Amino acid sequence: MTVDHQDVFQLPTEEEEAEKDITLQDVQQRIKDITLVLSDFKKYRQADRSRSEYIDRLRQDLCLYYSYNDFLMEKLMDMFPLSELMEYLESSEVARPLTIRTNTLKIRRRQLAGALINRGVNLDPLGKWTKEGLVIFNSQVPLGATPEYLGGYYMIQGASSMLPVMALAPQENERILDMCSAPGGKGSHIAAAMKNSGVLFANDSNRDRIKAVVANFHRLGVVNSVVSCEDGTKFRKIMTGFDRVLLDAPCTGTGVVSKDPSVKTTKSDVDVQRCYNLQRKLLLTAIDCVDAKSSTGGIIVYSTCSVLPEENEWVIDYALKKRNVKLVPTGLDFGVEGFTKFRQHRFHPSLNLTKRYYPHTHNMDGFYVAKLKKFSNTIPITKEQQEEDEKQLDEPIEGETTTEAAAEGAAEDAEENEDEKAPRKLLGKRAGKPSLTDIDQDLKKKKLEANKKKYVAKVFEKPVKVAKTPKSEQPQETNGAPKSQKKNKPQATNGAPKTEKKAKPQFKPEQANGKGKPTKPEAGKKFPSQPNVKASPGKSAAPKPEAKKFQPKDKKGEAKQQAAKPAANAKANATLAKAPRIDADDVPVLEGKPIKRQNNLKQKSKQIGQLKKSKTGANPNPKGGKKQKFKK
């Protein structure tokens, strides 16, 4: 039943609501009817209904239609008239246009606009109030991955986030502090306004978010900044004497509902009180960090992305009472004046110099900007009063949390008692991650330690060096043979290296077992076959180690060699007996020396063969005889 058909709109009773199924269209129509009744209450009201009943029904319908909780909807209804409230709620459901800020450290706005237009981006200047902003209507490429973005030519930033820096009006060669700088949009804007001169201190208490500040500063070419991760409420103990301070305080985010719709249902009175106390602490610290005697500055800019008076006007009014500061014009040409009175509260008259921004009037996120000037470094209150104020700022949080815990129902208490056995859900970094018990954490640590050592090569033991002693004879054999063959005339064909290779495996086990005698008669057979030939040592394969040491050329040398063999064999047997025996399979695979020796052996054997080919024409007859003997 609408107002068009009947002059008096009748509020439905509880029984009628229970019987009838209500759709969203019915709720929307009822919201329109109630707003019309409240616009002229005397004409359209019911005789037995009061204004409060209509307002309660309207609040319930708005919470149902726009998915707000009762607390936040009640705050918004206190702030706006009904007609403006509907516009605010409707505009909060629509996303704000995408805006970017030109990085004047690297490029001009006209050049950037031309480059983006060539990439298929439809854009326009943001407004007359800014010389750096661009509004993006549509784009064929993702703006966060263009070469211009990666090169640091622009920053994706909301239009409302540019306002605090414009109010701060940084000058060159100043010391400026950005107390809550993450993710670095406002800080980089300050550095661009300073033209990379002076010093910019970018601070944030969140260690994870400070990484974004460093990354953006590197990308945008900011070189005059000092990034810190300190508690903003205690920054006065670290450093003071700044020309200007920007405080973009943490808030409930009621002005950015279009970006984060969860704000509509998750925020409560306790969250507002907690933010209110933190904001007062940060603002007093920011004022203490500023030097009132600065020739160019002494300015503090306070901004939030909230529209609630508790986080804006109340905080500024508190700072005006506790410090020697005054409000000055922000320098922004547009915006709604701040509240000087809100319901039963009355604020300082100079609060009309602050600016408010709404999505339904300025087409940007809800924002608040206030500009303060410090006119004296003295504090108008005593230290005792300061300590009492700090205690008062801390106590309400504890009181609110206790009242909130006491207000919970019996059913929730029972659920909590059941959940006490299970591990609590972690907040912060561990939010959304599975909670691990102590045993699981120990196992996880052990796995991490094992993974660290997984791909590390093991250190080989000392016996690997001992395994080289029997193998060291291979290069001696190869190195010994060419020397004797170069000095003496070689009388073997290309088959000689092959016979040497066959002789090596016969010689190694005999040395390893200490049986060197079978090699002697073989050498004896070869030596008397050619007693008058000088190259006899080079033709023998077995006694090559002795051939290297002695290299006999006469019969006297042969006699000395035969006399020295028993003593050398005895020493070799003694050392081999003491040495640990290692099989070839036990030698580590990573040892590369045996492979290199084999390659050297092949190369040298080829060289020997080539020398023998070149010298075969000198003594052809003895070659054939020796060939037949080796083949047999």
The number of beta carbons lying within 10 Å of the beta carbon of residue 84 is 14
The number of beta carbons lying within 10 Å of the beta carbon of residue 490 is 25
Query: 120 near 141, Cβ under 8 Å?
Result: yes
Burial degree of 126 (CB within 10 A; 0-12, 13-18, 19+): buried
- Among candidate residues 63, 251, 289, 305, the one labeled active-site is 305
Binding annotation: 180-186, 204, 231, 248
Peptide bond into 380 cis (omega under 30): no
Instruction: Return the structure tokens found at 455.
Output: 């791909």
3-class DSSP assignment, residue 373: strand
Instruction: Return the structure tokens found at 554.
Output: 């006469």
What is the number of alpha carbons within 13 Å of residue 64 lying toward its C-beta?
16
Q: Going by C-beta distance under 8 Å and a sequence separation of 6 or more, which residues neighbour residue 507?
A: 519, 541, 542
Instruction: Return the structure tokens found at 127.
Output: 């407004």
Query: 580 near 463, Cβ under 8 Å?
Result: yes
CA distance linking residue 491 with residue 416, whole number of Å: 100
3-class DSSP assignment, residue 341: strand
CA distance linking residue 201 with residue 181, whole number of Å: 9
Tokens 């149902």, located at residue? 64
Is 275 assigned a catalytic role?
A: no
Q: Which of 378, 356, 246 is nearest to 300 (CA)?
A: 246
Binding annotation for S-adenosyl-L-methionine: 180-186, 204, 231, 248
The number of beta carbons lying within 10 Å of the beta carbon of residue 184 is 29
The number of beta carbons lying within 10 Å of the beta carbon of residue 280 is 23
Q: Going by C-beta distance under 8 Å and a sequence separation of 6 or more, which residues neighbour residue 624?
A: none
Query: 237 near 261, Cβ under 8 Å?
Result: no
Q: Which amino acid is at 401?
A: T
Give CA separation, 587 vs 93, 229, 242, 513, 575, in Å.
74, 55, 70, 19, 20
Instruction: Return the structure tokens found at 286.
Output: 């920011």
Q: Which of 157, 227, 162 is nearest to 199 (CA)?
A: 227
Tokens 């507002």, located at residue? 272
Q: How far is CA 236 from the centre of its chain?
A: 29
Q: Which of 488, 475, 474 is nearest to 612 (CA)?
A: 488
User: Residues with catalytic annotation?
Assistant: 305
